[in-house]
């Protein structure tokens, strides 16, 4: 309370301080007049009396000053004065200030932009009640599978719910693409089928309407909840949306609720429809139908570790009778799931931007220190006039604060465009993909600015205020400041050089990794390849589905600018689902646990269209029709797994139904691997077959790939017309070029590389500016010393070497330290390197050469200036 009282008193006083000042003036005047009157009464002349009275007061100005210090607003007043003084200093040396502000703007802008992304992904609370108790649960199916973690099955969900002791509840959600039609153009929207308790597990309520009940879920009620975005986009935000019946997959569903605007959930923020899971009876018993995502809420008082152990045991028990053998589960906090790999990238980049800000501060410290000694005489005068050390330090700091404030404003201008660039780093699972300068981010940059001002201002303030007035005023800068005062500045140079080396090295390693990823053989030619998807559920019979897909391909192929077209049920690189067990001819059934391959159905022209490379055998052709002797093409990992060193052609295998009902597929070809499950994922065994020879179940989606001779995006309208000419209610979904798909998967890598590279280059620039600044200041300061040396016979070459050597010694020390630190830092990078092992040594060598080169230039310029000094002029200068 006392602080508050002081503060309000201070503010109140500040508001009427002119008045207070006048009061004080009058009070002192009265004092003098009364004293003078007494002296007159004692017999002095009026003039004499006034002189005596003034003597008694002992200096009006000092008396006033002493009163001002005790007044409540004193600190405010002083701060105001210091800031004005600081602003004046900043204006007085515009060149210096411009450099300082630009340096700070880079540092603060970078760190602000990085923080905004870091905050959105890792700090901001997720839009669920007590989100830190939410976890995702995955099946750990072992190494032999297409992925180490698998979606659990609805059957497991039922068992876990029944038997677990650590969760208050678990909910399941499954992916489902839906087509909206009837009330507008046909539209394919991402949807999730969720269990009725999904909302209570997350602790969210719809913004309007209600959620569905357990009965509705079990009975397969035709009800949906829609996203705020869909409500606005497709239904114009209609007030009567709740209760309306809309056509979802050609069947009328009642809209029972609208989700809040900021609601989102795994796996992506653009889910538009939530509908009841309504597991069919067979799915409730099937422990092989791995397509559910399970989110669970840990009971209060249970730790994550306890939940993990308990679930591991439970899972082994539940899957004990599974013919593939029991498997454990993976329990991960929801936040980690959502942030994914970006967590490391963002942490690294935020650290890097922090390092850049630190370098900027170090540079400014050096600049201010150099200037501080130039201002020693000014300070000495102030000390002589009675300024205390504390006041001087505060005044120096005020100047730093003014610089930091200007730097922050300029930095925010840099941060805004940088944030647009960073938005693609926000994982798809995290909502609110737009980054904005809100109060959290602004608060952070204000804190960063103050921290920066203290970092770069404190040492110069401390040192600048430590002035022995007589020395400074007497020793008219005879340029003999010894090495003593330089060690600090020199170590700062070493520090910033080391930091720059770390950033450059890490940037180099990331660049190598990125180039490696980009040049990874994707098994196809991804240039000028358009892809999109069309749902085919509306054709009930299998034959009509295949006929429609073939008709699509034919129609698209006829478009001008199209070279060829083909179809695959799942567009490459986008999905690691659709895998199944298989049985090779001659294998016994109990030997195939974990023997899984991805299954892809394609049209006959698919491989030619994407430009896949056939290692041996043949591609599909017109002879592959509906038959009892179907054929398959396998990829290299499949061939190498079972037929190392020999040809698999002619071998037969079965999949799906492994019993007598299943067909034997004969291998007729081997293709180079295409990493179907993602550009960054290792290619797993995969099997391709033609649509005509698929099981009757068929696919719900057909992906179409189109090879064009023109810009692939230019034919999109024609493609749309072509499809609609076949079926006017057929939506086209996810229209993307293959380059886009690949680029998006590499975006974390490319973004982090680009950003770290930018930070590294700026760091190098700042570090060399630092070296340049310190050396060139030393030259200026020691002009007369150089003059003396030259007068005594030193050659200009010797002078140049002396100065250059000093700069290079600093650089090399920093380089050595930096390389050690970088070796440590590169260990931390491994998760961002995607299993790739970049060569540290060549990167380190390249960085060293670059640094020494740039530093040599930074040393050369001032050293040369030193060697050009004319002794006559130098000595006369004083």
Partner 1 sequence: MEKLDIPQGTLDLMILTILVREPMHGYGISQRLAVLSHDQFQVNPGSLFPSLYRLEQDGRLKAEWRATEKNRRAKYYRLTAAGRRQLEQHRERWSRVSFAVTSVLEGA
Least spacing, CB of residue 4 vs partner 1, in Å: 14
Q: Determine contact, residues 836/520, Cβ cutoff 8 Å.
A: no
Of 28 and 801, nearer to partner 1 (C-beta) is 28
Q: Determine contact, residues 819/505, Cβ cutoff 8 Å.
A: yes
Beta bridge partners, 705, equal 531, 566
For the chain, how far is it from start to end, CA to CA, in angstroms?
A: 59
Least spacing, CB of residue 72 vs partner 1, in Å: 6
- Judged by CB under 8 A, the residue of 8, 12, 22, 27 near partner 1 is 27
866 makes contact with partner 1 (CB under 8 A)? no
Interacting residues with partner 1 between 664 and 693 (CB under 8 A) = none
Q: Please give the Cα distance from 636 to 682 (Å, whole number).
A: 12
Of 30 and 877, nearer to partner 1 (C-beta) is 30
Stretch that binds partner 1, among 62-70, 363-371, 795-803, 855-863 (CB under 8 A): 62-70
Stretch that binds partner 1, among 21-29, 109-117, 564-572, 870-878 (CB under 8 A): 21-29
User: Closest Cα partner for 466 from 573, 394, 379?
Assistant: 379
Q: Determine contact, residues 792/486, Cβ cutoff 8 Å.
A: no
Q: Which residue has the tokens 């056939």?
A: 614
Q: What are phi and psi of 638, to 5 degrees?
A: -65, -50
Least spacing, CB of residue 65 vs partner 1, in Å: 9
Q: Is 660 exposed, middle or buried (0-12, 13-18, 19+ CB in 10 A)?
A: exposed
Q: Is 295 exposed, middle or buried (0-12, 13-18, 19+ CB in 10 A)?
A: buried
Q: Please give the Cα distance from 624 to 604 (Å, whole number).
A: 8
∠ CA 47-53-59, nearest 5°, is 115
Least spacing, CB of residue 3 vs partner 1, in Å: 14
Least spacing, CB of residue 46 vs partner 1, in Å: 16
Of 54 and 754, nearer to partner 1 (C-beta) is 54
- Report the half-sphere exposure of 831 (CA within 13 A, side-chain side): 11
Sequence-ordered strand ranges (E) for 540-657? 562-568, 579-584, 596-602, 614-617, 631-635, 652-655
- Judged by CB under 8 A, the residue of 71, 193, 600, 684 near partner 1 is 71
Of 27 and 621, nearer to partner 1 (C-beta) is 27
Of 66 and 728, nearer to partner 1 (C-beta) is 66
- Judged by CB under 8 A, the residue of 45, 62, 713, 830 near partner 1 is 62
23 makes contact with partner 1 (CB under 8 A)? yes
- Judged by CB under 8 A, the residue of 12, 16, 66, 805 near partner 1 is 66
Q: Please give the Cα distance from 779 to 789 (Å, whole number).
A: 13
762 makes contact with partner 1 (CB under 8 A)? no
Count of residues near partner 1 by CB under 8 A: 25
User: Closest Cα partner for 121 from 350, 320, 325?
Assistant: 350
Interacting residues with partner 1 between 532 and 571 (CB under 8 A) = none
Stretch that binds partner 1, among 59-67, 84-92, 413-421, 553-561 (CB under 8 A): 59-67
Element (H, E) at 752: helix 747-781
Of 67 and 140, nearer to partner 1 (C-beta) is 67
Least spacing, CB of residue 25 vs partner 1, in Å: 11
Site string for partner 1, 28-57 (x = CB under 8 A): x-xx-xxx-xx-----------------xx
Helix axes 74-92, 60-70, angle to 10 degrees: 110
Least spacing, CB of residue 34 vs partner 1, in Å: 4
Of 4 and 792, nearer to partner 1 (C-beta) is 4
Of 12 and 210, nearer to partner 1 (C-beta) is 12
Of 59 and 185, nearer to partner 1 (C-beta) is 59
Least spacing, CB of residue 82 vs partner 1, in Å: 22
Least spacing, CB of residue 394 vs partner 1, in Å: 21
- Judged by CB under 8 A, the residue of 49, 50, 72, 329 near partner 1 is 72
- Judged by CB under 8 A, the residue of 3, 4, 47, 70 near partner 1 is 70
User: Closest Cα partner for 383 from 393, 397, 374, 373?
Assistant: 393
Of 71 and 228, nearer to partner 1 (C-beta) is 71
59 makes contact with partner 1 (CB under 8 A)? yes
63 makes contact with partner 1 (CB under 8 A)? yes
Residue 67, preceding peptide bond in cis (omega within 30° of 0): no
Least spacing, CB of residue 40 vs partner 1, in Å: 12
Of 2 and 591, nearer to partner 1 (C-beta) is 2
Q: What is the DSSP letter of 483?
A: G
Element (H, E) at 248: strand 245-248
Least spacing, CB of residue 47 vs partner 1, in Å: 20
3 makes contact with partner 1 (CB under 8 A)? no
58 makes contact with partner 1 (CB under 8 A)? yes
Residues 6+ apart with CB under 8 A from 16: none
Least spacing, CB of residue 16 vs partner 1, in Å: 14
Least spacing, CB of residue 20 vs partner 1, in Å: 10
Stretch that binds partner 1, among 24-32, 271-279, 499-507, 725-733 (CB under 8 A): 24-32
Sequence-ordered strand ranges (E) for 436-554? 529-535
Q: What are phi and psi of 300, to 5 degrees?
A: -60, 140
9 makes contact with partner 1 (CB under 8 A)? yes
Q: Parallel, antiparallel, or unpaired: how do β-strands 686-690 and 596-602 relate? A: parallel
H helix intervals, 164-272: 198-202, 214-218, 228-235
Q: What are phi and psi of 38, to 5 degrees?
A: -65, -40
Using CB under 8 A, list all residues that contact partner 1: 9, 23-24, 26-28, 30-31, 33-35, 37-38, 56-59, 62-63, 66-67, 69-72
């Amino acid at each position: 309370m006392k602080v508050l009282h002081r503060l309000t008193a201070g503010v109140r006083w500040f508001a009427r301080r002119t008045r207070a000042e006048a009061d004080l003036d009058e009070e002192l005047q009265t004092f003098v007049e009364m004293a003078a009157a007494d002296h007159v009464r004692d017999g002095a002349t009026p003039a004499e009396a006034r002189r005596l009275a003034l003597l008694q007061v002992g200096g009006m100005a000092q008396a006033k000053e002493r009163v001002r210090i005790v007044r409540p607003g004193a600190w405010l007043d002083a701060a105001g004065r210091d800031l004005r003084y600081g602003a004046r200093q900043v204006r007085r040396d515009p060149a210096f200030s411009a450099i300082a502000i630009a340096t700070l703007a880079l540092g603060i802008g970078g760190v602000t932009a990085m923080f905004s992304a870091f905050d959105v992904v890792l700090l901001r609370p997720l839009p669920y009640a007590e989100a830190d108790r939410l976890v995702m649960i995955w099946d750990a199916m072992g190494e032999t599978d297409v992925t180490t973690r698998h979606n659990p099955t609805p059957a497991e969900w039922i068992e876990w719910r029944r038997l677990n002791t650590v969760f208050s509840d678990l909910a399941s959600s499954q992916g489902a693409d839906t087509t909206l039609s009837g009330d507008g153009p046909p539209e394919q929207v991402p949807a999730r089928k969720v269990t009725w308790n999904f909302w209570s597990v997350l602790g969210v309520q719809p913004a309007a309407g209600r959620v569905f009940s357990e009965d509705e879920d079990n009975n397969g009620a035709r009800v949906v909840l829609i996203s705020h975005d869909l409500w606005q986009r497709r239904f114009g935000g209609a007030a009567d949306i709740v209760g309306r019946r809309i056509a979802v997959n050609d069947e009328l569903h009642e809209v029972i609720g609208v989700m809040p605007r900021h609601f989102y959930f795994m796996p992506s923020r653009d889910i538009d429809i939530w509908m009841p899971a309504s597991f069919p009876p067979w799915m409730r018993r099937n422990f092989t139908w791995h397509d559910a995502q399970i989110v669970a809420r840990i009971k209060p008082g249970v730790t994550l570790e306890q939940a993990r152990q308990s679930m591991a045991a439970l899972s082994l028990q539940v899957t004990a009778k599974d013919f593939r053998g029991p498997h454990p589960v993976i329990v991960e906090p929801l936040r980690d799931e959502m942030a994914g790999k970006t967590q490391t990238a963002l942490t690294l980049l935020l650290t890097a931007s922090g390092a850049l800000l630190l370098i900027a501060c170090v540079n400014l410290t050096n600049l201010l220190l150099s200037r501080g000694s130039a201002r020693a005489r000014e300070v000495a005068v102030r000390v002589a006039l009675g300024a205390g050390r504390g006041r001087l330090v505060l005044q120096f700091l005020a100047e730093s604060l003014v610089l930091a404030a200007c730097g922050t404003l300029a930095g925010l201008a840099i941060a805004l465009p940088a944030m647009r660039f960073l938005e693609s780093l926000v994982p798809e699972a995290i909502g609110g993909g737009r980054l904005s300068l809100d109060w959290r981010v602004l608060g952070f940059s204000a804190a960063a600015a103050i921290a920066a001002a203290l970092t770069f201002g404190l040492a110069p303030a401390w040192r600048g205020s430590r002035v022995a007035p007589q020395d400074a005023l007497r020793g008219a800068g005879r340029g003999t400041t010894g090495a003593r005062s330089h060690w600090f500045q020199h170590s700062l140079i070493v520090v910033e050089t080391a930091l720059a080396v770390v950033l450059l090295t890490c940037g180099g390693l990331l660049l190598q990794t990125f180039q490696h990823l980009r040049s990874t053989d994707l098994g196809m030619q991804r240039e000028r390849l358009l892809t999109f998807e069309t749902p085919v559920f509306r054709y009930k019979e299998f034959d009509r589905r295949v006929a429609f897909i073939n008709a699509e391909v034919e129609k698209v192929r006829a478009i001008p600018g199209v070279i060829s077209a083909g179809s695959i049920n799942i567009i490459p690189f986008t999905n690691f689902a659709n895998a199944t067990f298989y049985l090779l001819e001659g294998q016994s059934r109990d030997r195939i646990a974990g023997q899984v391959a991805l299954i892809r159905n394609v049209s006959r022209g698919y491989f030619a269209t994407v430009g896949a490379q056939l290692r041996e055998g043949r591609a599909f052709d017109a002879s592959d029709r509906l038959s009892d002797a179907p054929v398959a093409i396998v990829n290299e990992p499949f061939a190498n797994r079972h037929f190392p060193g020999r040809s698999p052609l002619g071998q037969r295998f079965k999949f799906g139904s492994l019993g007598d009902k299943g067909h034997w597929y004969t291998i007729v070809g081997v293709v180079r691997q295409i990493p179907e499950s993602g550009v960054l994922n290792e290619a797993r065994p995969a099997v391709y077959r033609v649509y005509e020879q698929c099981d009757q179940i068929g696919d719900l989606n057909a992906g179409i790939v189109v090879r064009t001779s023109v810009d692939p995006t230019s034919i999109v309208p024609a493609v749309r017309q072509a499809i609609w000419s076949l079926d006017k209610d057929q939506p086209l979904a996810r229209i993307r070029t293959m380059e886009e798909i690949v680029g998006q998967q590499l975006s974390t890598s490319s973004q982090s590389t680009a950003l770290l590279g930018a930070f590294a280059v700026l760091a190098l620039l700042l570090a060399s500016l630092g070296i340049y600044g310190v050396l060139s200041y030393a030259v200026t300061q020691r002009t007369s010393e150089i003059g003396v040396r030259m007068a005594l016979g030193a050659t200009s070459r010797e002078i140049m070497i002396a100065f250059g050597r000093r700069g290079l010694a600093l650089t090399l020390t920093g380089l050595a330290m930096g390389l050690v630190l970088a070796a440590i830092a590169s260990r931390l990078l491994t998760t961002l390197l995607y299993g790739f092992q970049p060569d540290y040594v060549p990167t380190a060598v390249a960085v060293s050469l670059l640094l020494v080169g740039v530093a040599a230039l930074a040393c050369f310029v001032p050293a040369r200036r030193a060697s050009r000094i004319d002794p006559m002029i130098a000595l006369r200068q004083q």
